[in-house]
Amino acid sequence: MVPNDSLKVDEMFGDVGDILLGREDLHIKVRVIRLWKVSAFLNPIETSSIEMILVDVKSVFPDED
């Protein structure tokens, strides 16, 4: 998707469903509804990753295009 000045802001973003493995050039617009840290297996004091649940406009309003 190539941004174009004549497009509305929402049309410049893809949907979460458009994410494909290996694709690096997708812009998505989401809301983070849950965020948490995952402790390292051998060292609970250390954080190994951060996980989150994302919602886009189609998840909130499925009939909207």
- Say what the pLDDT of residue 65 is: 54
Q: How confident is the model at residue 17 (pLDDT cuts 50, 70, 90)?
A: confident
The pTM for the full model equals: 0.57
**pLDDT for 20-35, tens place per residue?**
888 778 888 889 999 9
**pLDDT for 26-59, tens place per residue?**
888 889 999 999 999 899 899 999 999 988 877 7
Residues 6+ apart with CB under 8 A from 30: 16, 54, 55, 56
